[in-house]
Amino acid sequence: MSKAPEFSYTPEQVRALSENLIKDLEEKLGVLANIPGPQRNFRNTMLAFENAVTGFGEAVQVQIFLAYVSGDAELRKAAQELELKISQYSVDLFTREDVFRALTEYSDKGEKLDPVDARLLEKTLLDFRHNGLGLEPRARNRVKKLKKELIGLELKFSQNLREVGDALEVSEDELKGLPADFKARLRRSEAGKYLVTMDYPDYMPFMDNADSGDARRRLEMMYNRRCVPGNIELMEAAIQLRRKISKLLGYPTFADYVLADRMAANSGNVSAFLERTRVKLVKKGRKELRELGKLKGGEDRTISSWDWRYYVNLLKKTKYSIDHEKIKEYFPLETVVKGMFEVFGGVFGASFVPAPLPVWHGDVRAYEVKNPDGSLAAYFYFDLFPRDGKYKHAACFGLRGGRELEDGAYELPAAAIVGNFPAPSGGNPALLKFADVVTLFHEFGHVTHNIFTRSKYGKFSGTSVSRDFVEVPSKMLENWAYDPAVLRRISGHYKNPGEKLPEALIKKIIEARNMDSGLGYLRQVFLSAVDMRYHTARGKVDTTGLYGKLRKKISLIPLSPENYPQANFGHLMGGYEAGYYSYLWSEVIAADLFGAFEAAGVMNPEAGAKYRELILAPGRSFDEAGQVRKFLGRPAAEDAFLKSIGAA
């Protein structure tokens, strides 16, 4: 049985790691490349490559993760340097002519393979072709050089955002509308004013609740001017490099290059999907905007971007009698986590047992994930509160993929949720807003994909699926947060744990779910369209001009003057470039899958077992659309999604 991962590394150990690992991998690849053609078979060529590369990735996965979570600035720096080296070496790896020739030589033999082995060969060869193999040497070397340059830009963009320490000074008067516990945890400036940081637990509640429109406007501007102009220059340079790479590889646009290996297949399909969805949403969005304008009142009823969250929150309080500051009293973190484990443990047939495993920080809690027979299935970790130098958003990080080892044993997967939820303060425990609960369920959906994998190969393990399928399990689990039985299970007033969220509030939360779904999903369409336009443009891209133009046209709420949100649009520099549409695409599929649970009962363990077997366990071992078809008994459709958001 594989042990839990270790996290106790020094900066020196991390710096020394890459050379030895690369040397070892090079030796293995040399042996593979030099096997005489007649002796080639699946085991000594394709499987040897897969095992060597997956083992190499696994050996640096945890150390690279420390760049995002370590409390030691020097260790974070060493881990960032390692990430850059490994990412750039990966370009070298997948542009090796000798290895590509070996794999092609084996492929040309035409041996009959089982479907998963055949898929492994097909996807591995595609990785090489996507890196320029098959091109003449000069073009191939150009692709390689550009890819390495691109990796450097992307990592610098991310690093810049992690290191932001900006904070807005606000007066006591400008904190009107904010709860006492929010005010209590704010640092003070030398002038005695309150400091509101750019971290989610500060930014989001302030934009939701601060009565001062001018303070919200100033905070939004500071938030949207982070890393300006540096990150704008990095993004525009990256877009240019991506276009050059796709052109060299024979694709009309970078989006088409990326989508060739996705469910959507090409940029035309994505654009049609986004426009189809926009048309279905625009009537609802305009109606919601008018309602917010009435609530604002006065002569100028225009809803500016710094108004949107505030008036949506105010509408929840007035029309639906939902005060999220009051509701969070029923969601102490410990109660929510305990209830979440009970709910999803029951649905998926697993238990989450606290365990004294190695961790990377004192805030981290660790668990062993066990099957019904008591056998160990995976390792899981929570790192939930903000700290200096830590990743700023909420995410699931895969720490180790599940896979079959050469001795026949199964490598147990490990995953972590890294979040930035409000920490305990003022003598009160950590209290989650309902939006935090939804976020927690979302990230736990990614966790289920990682920990319940039974993929044969690391390449197909867990979340290593098509980018436009990767959000399906996360969007799926969000639905449970709106189920009355689940809300009862995960709630309990922090002063009286036996006092569950009142039935009237449960009813209001469910009723209010779609009160701003038109504007909310138009924003998703807008961000997806921006991404597509950036990555299908033929000439130089003015990211600011295009962002502003599409924002007004699609989201219905214009961009504020002197704001540059693309400078902190990390998704487009961190794996979702030409892929942001994946959130919507996945949500459509997830809504259809959830319909099967609604029909069987959301706590139904039989439905859970079927979902675990057909959707979670295979990873990318099979075609994702085919697995969805097996689960539903038909192809996925858009009807369930439109109905679920009140736009049918």
Residues annotated as catalytic (active site), given as ranges: 443
Query: DSSP assignment, residue 46?
Result: I
Q: Which residues pair with 411 in a beta bridge?
A: 403
Residue 417's closest CA among 403, 430, 436? Answer: 436
Q: Which residues contact 59 (CB under 8 A, 6 or more apart)?
A: 17, 21
Q: Are 14 and 78 in contact (CB under 8 A)?
A: yes
187: three-class secondary structure by DSSP: strand
Q: Are 263 and 635 in contact (CB under 8 A)?
A: no
Q: What angle do CA 32, 34, 36 make, to 5 degrees?
A: 105
Kindly calculate the radius of gyration of the chain based on its CA atoms and give it in whole angstroms.
Answer: 25
Q: How many CA atoms lie within 13 A of 71 on its CB side?
A: 11
Q: Are 619 and 464 in contact (CB under 8 A)?
A: yes
Residue 587's closest CA among 343, 308, 277, 345? Answer: 277
Give alpha helix (H) positions in 462-565: 472-478, 484-490, 503-511, 517-534, 543-550
Q: Which residues contact 317 (CB under 8 A, 6 or more apart)?
A: 323
Q: At what angle do helices 582-600 and 267-296 cross, to 10 degrees?
A: 80
Structure tokens at 438: 């939804």
Q: How many CA atoms lie within 13 A of 159 on its CB side?
A: 19
φ/ψ region of 250 (left if φ > 0, alpha if ψ in -120 to 50, else beta) reads left
Q: Are 587 and 474 in contact (CB under 8 A)?
A: no
Q: At what angle do helices 115-130 and 48-69 cross, to 10 degrees?
A: 60
Query: DSSP assignment, residue 174?
Result: G
Question: What is the C-alpha separation between 270 and 532, in angstroms, rounded?
Answer: 8
CB neighbours of residue 188 within 10 Å? 10
Please return the burial class of 441, using the count of CB atoms within 10 Å of its CB with bins 0-12, 13-18 and 19+: buried
Question: What is the C-alpha separation between 556 and 304, in angstroms, rounded?
Answer: 10
Integer CA distances (angstroms), 532 to 370, 468, 570, 633, in order: 42, 14, 15, 32
Q: Are 282 and 270 in contact (CB under 8 A)?
A: no
List the strands of the sheet with 414-418, edge to edge. Answer: 351-354, 365-370, 376-383, 414-418, 395-400
Show the beta-strand stretches assigned E in 229-350. none
First CA to last CA distance, the chain:
50
Question: What is the C-alpha separation between 479 and 446, in angstroms, rounded?
Answer: 14
Q: Are 418 and 391 in contact (CB under 8 A)?
A: yes
